Amino acid sequence: MKNVKLLIVVLISFISVVCSAQEQISATSTLYIVRTSSLGAAMNFKFFMDDQYLGKFNYGKYFKLEVPAGEHVIWAKAENRSYVKATLEAGQTYVINAEPKMGAMKASVALKAINEPTEKEMERIIKYINKKKLLIYDKDKREAEQKDYAGLIEKGMQHYNEKVSGAPDLEILHKATTL
């Protein structure tokens, strides 16, 4: 009888842990940040979500991130800043393409929300993801760089809140993509 009670307690605990993990997984969205153009290939772009540093990469790499569902500001810094306002639904996949542009001194960046990609655009993104390097950023490195970029992050979010938020030309990411 003791063994049966113990088995029931263990099973209930196991089911509770599995359900909790499932809820956490379903409360996130998958976000890809890619850079399909080789223009300024050696130039790193720094990427952020809200006030959090995500990492940096140049051409030939990409991020695949599990992020909390909800509203976010995804932004990048190069010679300039570029912003995307994102409304992400749990369990969905979204793509942002970081397009390099000619800058005055170095490459600038334009983030493009991939909402309704053409067939050709989707083929290019899928080919890129299949051939290029998924960048997995070390947690300690990210935390150290978060501290290093604290001033940049503060200025970037202040610029967004004062000048970009609500602008008619602000990129909006709102449609999930199937990869």
pLDDT of residue 11: 45
What is the pTM assigned to this prediction? 0.82
Report the SS3 class of residue 170. Answer: coil
User: Residue 87 contacts by C-beta under 8 Å, 6 or more apart in sequence?
Assistant: 70, 71, 172, 173, 174
pLDDT of residue 106: 79
Residue 143 to residues 47, 52, 54, 66, 148, Cα–Cα distance (Å): 14, 9, 9, 17, 9
- Residue 72: its H or E element: strand 70-77
pLDDT of residue 3: 59
The per-residue pLDDT of the chain, averaged, comes to 87
pLDDT of residue 5: 56
**Of 53, 57, 60, residue with least CA distance to 145:** 53
Which stretches of the chain drop beneath a pLDDT of 70?
A: 1-26
pLDDT per position as a tens digit, 100-111: 998 778 789 999
pLDDT of residue 158: 96
Copy the structure tokens of residue 128.
Answer: 């890129």
pLDDT per position as a tens digit, 47-81: 999 999 999 999 999 999 999 999 999 999 999 99
Residue with tokens 């290093």: 148
Are the C-beta atoms of residues 33 and 61 closer than 8 Å to each other? no
pLDDT of residue 6: 46
pLDDT of residue 22: 44
The C-alpha atoms of residue 108 and residue 130 are separated, in whole angstroms, by 26
